[in-house]
Structure 1
Amino acid sequence: MAASSSHAPHAARPAVGAAAPIGVFDSGVGGLTVLRALRERLPDEPLLYLGDTARLPYGSKSAGTVVRYAEQAARVLVDRGVKLLVIACNTASAVALEHLSEVFHPLPVIGVVEPGAEAACLASRSGEIVVLATEGTVRGGAYERAIRARRGDARVVQTACPLFVALAEEGWVSGPIVEAIAHRYLDGVLREHPDADCLVLGCTHFPVLRAAISAAVGPRLTLVDSAETTARVVARELAARGLLHTPSSAPPSAPSATPGMPIPAAGQGSARFLATDAPARFARVGAVFMGEALAPELRPEAVELVDL
């Protein structure tokens, strides 16, 4: 989606190499589910993550506002020399992917909607697919377009679940309140669409609520999380461009691709975190999204506060 911008197309910058980081941004901590999937698939890659915690959620904002916020967040990462940009926010992917691809060309920019739609089409047998998302993503219809482009006979049911974002950002991922909200959102949809057999978690905040959502829908629906599919797309894109990080792509004496980011050893890709507000809270809640194995990397003192 095109949008007016206060910036001209991004000025030419020196070409980056394989040792440069992958940039990932989201409105908050939800995109850390994508970062986690990237680390699992590409353990050697250095990663740079920005959570725009001062202005979340994006899902209730107008399309023009989301495009503006997304460009500002992306620019911070691009200015730090990333080799690829991941929009780890379904709302921003839905409305800002085309704009960011134009502004930051030739930098590859990957969103999470297209990979999620691809995974849903492969998972569904009946062709009736339920998409849980934010108000902005549902309003824009990006998932329905992406799914139907791949599977013309698909029947797509979209449901906005804004409270799921608030729960996830608070770290409330289980318990009777979460379960009650999940049933409130889903029970009527499932009654009205008995042939649905696939449910897309169309917001990167939602995977941490997976247990409660699964309990509400039961075994009849396959849950699709776009994070892993997105990580596969990123790996494919980096390989095609010769930008996969390997031990040989950055010898120990090589300068850091990003100031302050050490070149990682094999299997030990580094991760740096930026937030626009409340670094301590970002670290606390973000640890839930990163998972037990990766949570130690996300300490309050490791989160840099940035101003967009």
Structure 2
Amino acid sequence: MIESTGKTGPIGVFDSGYGGLTILHQMRQLLPQYDYLYLGDNARAPYGPRSFDIVYQFTREAVEKLFSMGCHLVILACNTASAKALRSIQQNDLPQIDPNRRVLGVIRPTAECIGSITQSRHVGIVATAGTIKSESYVMEIHKLYPDITVTGEPCPMWVPLIENNEYDSPGADYFVEKRIGNLMRRDPQIDSIILGCTHYPLLLNKILKYVPRGVRIVPQGEYVANSLKDYLMRHPEMDMRCSKHGTCHYLTTESAEKFRESAQLFLNEDIDVERVVLG
């Protein structure tokens, strides 16, 4: 167990399951000197179909757990949590818990980058039903780029395919082709598609197979990692609170053995995992 000791601590990274490991990987590639503490709420995943209130409750419990283990900064590496819980935690909870701690999400960094990527000013989003229903991407993109037309397509089967290690199977083709086809029929002018779920990079080969030529796919990891680097440069007071020994530890609310096995889909290393209880 990593206890909260001293004034510095790891950067917390939270996801409902395994997809956030794609974000963590990019962070560690770009910022290897920092310590990271990853928490997957695998026992209660997926979050996508759950109500706003439940996602908020679960996410707050996870954030408080990471804070209790020494994190001053937590990244919600989960689109559903970012869409349904981030704003409430930032506005309502942090002032009471600790106004010096911070929680950041993955939607804003992705929205910021899209303006320089799309030429047609027509953008597609593929994500869980919960993220699409929240319209968080639409709102964030329109705050920055009111001229961009945003079309979302829910993909409820994509995460189960990935977490059941079927993402490279022939059966996955049906679900990927169906959803990409739906999206492009609704707006044939789309020239950029945001992968609005951290799991989806594992389906990249299938997605590229079915998108029209010239349509650019935008995974989140690179943009979120760059945004974190920029944030720490602009906030040296937070950077000083982040410990830097190049370590990474993993927590799960499911079985540690199960997490270790499934994490192999996302990571090319053996990891130490600890089971924790939230709530």
TM-score (norm 2): 0.91
Tell me the equivalent position of 1:254.
none
Cα distance between partner residues in 1 of 2:103 and 2:152:
25
Moved more, 43-52 or 165-174: 165-174
Q: How does 1:1-308 map to 2 (within 5 A)?
A: 16-17=7-8, 20-102=9-91, 103-104=93-94, 105-242=99-236, 243-244=238-239, 264=245, 269-290=246-267, 292=268, 295-296=269-270, 298=271, 302-308=272-278
> Is the partner of 1:76 in helix, strand or coil?
helix
Residues 27-86 of structure 1: per-residue CA shift (max 9 Å, x gap): 000100110011011011110000000111111000011000000011110101112110
> Is the partner of 1:44 in helix, strand or coil?
coil
Moved more, 198-207 or 273-282: 273-282
Cα distance between partner residues in 2 of 1:192 and 1:238:
39
The alpha-carbon deviation at position 206 of structure 1 amounts to 0.8
Cα distance between partner residues in 2 of 1:115 and 1:241:
16
Residue identity opposite 2:265 in structure 1 = V
Cα distance between partner residues in 2 of 1:171 and 1:121:
34
The alpha-carbon deviation at position 181 of structure 1 amounts to 1.1
- Verify the 8 A CA contact 2:152 2:183 in the aligned structure 1: no
The alpha-carbon deviation at position 119 of structure 1 amounts to 2.0
> Is the partner of 1:123 in helix, strand or coil?
coil
TM-score (norm 1): 0.83
> Is the partner of 2:46 in helix, strand or coil?
coil
Residue identity opposite 1:89 in structure 2 = C
How many residue pairs align between the two structures? 269
Residues 230-284 of structure 1: per-residue CA shift (max 9 Å, x gap): 1112112222232447xxx99xxxxxx6xxxxx72xxxx1110000012222112
Runs of 4+ displaced beyond 6 Å: none
Tell me the equivalent position of 1:6.
none
Cα distance between partner residues in 1 of 2:129 and 2:109:
20
> Is the partner of 1:203 in helix, strand or coil?
coil
Residues 78-101 of structure 1: per-residue CA shift (max 9 Å, x gap): 101112110011011012112222
Moved more, 113-122 or 42-51: 113-122
> Is the partner of 1:106 in helix, strand or coil?
coil
The alpha-carbon deviation at position 188 of structure 1 amounts to 2.7
The alpha-carbon deviation at position 25 of structure 1 amounts to 0.4
Residue identity opposite 2:70 in structure 1 = G
